[in-house]
Chains A and B, each alone.
Chain A
Amino acid sequence: MRETPLIGPYDVDDVLAWDQEGPRTVRRFLADAASLAESLPDRSTALNLATNRYDFLVGFAAAIMRRQVTLLPQSRASQTLLRIAGEFPGSYALTDRGDAIDGIDSVSIQLRGDQAPWPMDIPRIPSDRVVAVAFTSGSTGRPVPNKKTWGALTAVARATGARLGIKAGDRLSVVATVPHQHMFGLEASVMLPIMHGLAMHAGRPLFPSDIGCVLADAASRWILVTTPLHLRACVAEGVNMPPGGLILSATAPLSRNLAQQAEEHFHAEVHEIFGFAEAGSIAERRTIDGDRWRPLEDVLVEQDGVSCRVRAWYLPAPVPAPDRMTVDPDGTFVVHGREADQVNVAGHRVSLGDLNHTLMQIDGVQDGVFFLPEEGAGLVTRLMAFVVAPGKTSEEIQRQLRAHVDPVFLPRPLVCVPSLPRNETGKLPRESVSELARQWLERAGHDA
């Protein structure tokens, strides 16, 4: 079986990561990872919860060295973590803040590379080995696991780099606002740099001025891995970025108008990546050039009625796309939107059925439904929920929900109602919920 090196091409004294605490060289990284690997417990799966991107990478590499699989939970909600740990018995959590997770054995990521010898050889990993599991939201209330082989992660990173014109050994600094436990974050902010010998920023700047500061601090040309949300905030704030960089956006569609403004304001090309956790990144476009997505190398998108399937040598089977799309004979495609049950809030995809299921499990809840209103003027449109729970307050339900769902999906507002407008078959047509939401928002508007 084909094996490829864990990182590279780098020289041992190249900077692999940096943050306000200074640079971490390749030599230091290999020593940090090897020394952590030795101290890891003898288990098969690790939930990597590290918030610092360098710590995350050290934990990921150490797990790979020990032939352990890294689990990438889509949220830190305690019930989600417990459920994942339950489905992968013997899992432990890797953390970098010294925070322990209730009910899961936790190991703190200690960086001891300065006291350890560095391994002379860079480990080589078989392409068919499963190294990570990403989770998506299904309709049953249980996170659905998606296995990722080393071959798939490296192939996507190389194909993305090739498409963006990144050459091995280019002096580029990668800064990301997205979490590395998210598939796009893992691929673009961790795998892309380590497969091309680039330097990664270990932090995760949030506010526009943070992003500006980190980019100004970058020692070389930069790539900003981000989302339409952060990009919109940067444009609104008129933040300064050193010219000549490259912006890579994903997780939700970027408007051509915003891409145009960003290109002009930041003197940077704005590219978008399209993908989903089940297949990883599959296509790219420069947003100002048009709507069509160009599949990455080795990716084939096939029309299958109104849906599509994605094929690639590194995917064990064709993967159905969660979006409705139209593929042209030349292989490029247009995305029309999510399948009805799937919604996107601030770049995170979730199944409404899954959320509804979770809501119904809450003590005292008799009926309930989540709803995504039409896009408003804010940076992000939040979900609403209507709940029938006599004797319960919306705060009580909200508090219990928080343990089960990612904060980004918490309903705003959660409205308690006497009943839901279910039809005679017990179904809850979208139009009825939409009407309920319209009435509620109108009333809330009057009260304000």
Chain B
Amino acid sequence: MEQSGASLLERDLAKLIVQTLKLKADPAAIEPEAALFGEGLGLDSIDALELSLAISQTYGYQLKSSDPQIKTIFSSLRALAAAIEKNRTK
């Protein structure tokens, strides 16, 4: 599967996710619009915590679950990348 029009940030983020969470998936095969949690990649809240640390260290963006948008932000690779693009400090 090829990522349909994945941006550079989306591709970097896919690599970060696979690396951080030791997934078996090929980063290039993560569909930008597919669900990350539950049925999609099957991630759970510990993954979210682990991923939040990696995102904070890499992009200087601290995720908050009190953010009303948090469900949307974590809904897909594309949404997560968009949130990082907007809030990144490095």
Contacts and interface: CB of A to CB of B under 8 A. Distances in A.
B50 interface: yes
B24 interface: yes
Interface string B13-24: 000000011111
B24 A412 contact: yes
A122 B23 CA distance: 51
Contacts of A243: none
Contacts of A237: 53, 56, 62
B42 interface: yes
Interface string B47-90: 01110110011000011111000000000000000000000000
Interface residues of B, number: 21
Which of A213, A233, A394, A402 has the most C-beta atoms of chain B within 10 angstroms of its own C-beta? A233
A290 interface: no
B25 to A, nearest CB: 9
Contacts of A213: 64, 66
Nearest to B27: A448
Nearest to A237: B56
Nearest to B62: A209
A307 interface: no
A413 interface: yes
B24 A413 contact: yes
Contact of B64 (A207, A230, A398, A408): A207
A240 to B, nearest CB: 11
A425 interface: no
A378 B46 CA distance: 11
A41 interface: no
B22 to A, nearest CB: 6
Interface residues of A, number: 29
A294 interface: no
A206 B56 contact: no
B2 interface: no
A53 to B, nearest CB: 15
A113 interface: no
Contacts of B50: 233, 378-380
A127 B18 CA distance: 51
B64 A209 contact: yes
A205 B70 CA distance: 13
A382 interface: yes
Contact of A233 (B22, B49, B64): B49
A402 B66 contact: no
B24 A379 contact: no
B63 A207 contact: yes
A236 B53 contact: yes
Contacts of A372: none
A233 B53 contact: yes
B88 to A, nearest CB: 15
B63 A394 contact: no
Interface in B26-46: 42, 44-46
B20 A210 contact: no
Interface in A219-241: 229-230, 233, 236-237
B53 A20 contact: no
A207 B55 CA distance: 12
11 contacts: A206-B49, A207-B62, A207-B63, A207-B64, A209-B63, A210-B64, A210-B66, A229-B49, A233-B52, A346-B46, A378-B22
Given A209-B62, A413-B23, 20 more contacts: A205-B66, A206-B45, A208-B53, A209-B64, A210-B64, A210-B65, A210-B66, A233-B50, A236-B57, A346-B46, A378-B20, A378-B22, A398-B42, A407-B42, A407-B44, A410-B42, A410-B44, A412-B21, A412-B22, A413-B22
Interface of B: 20-24, 42, 44-46, 48-50, 52-53, 56-57, 62-66
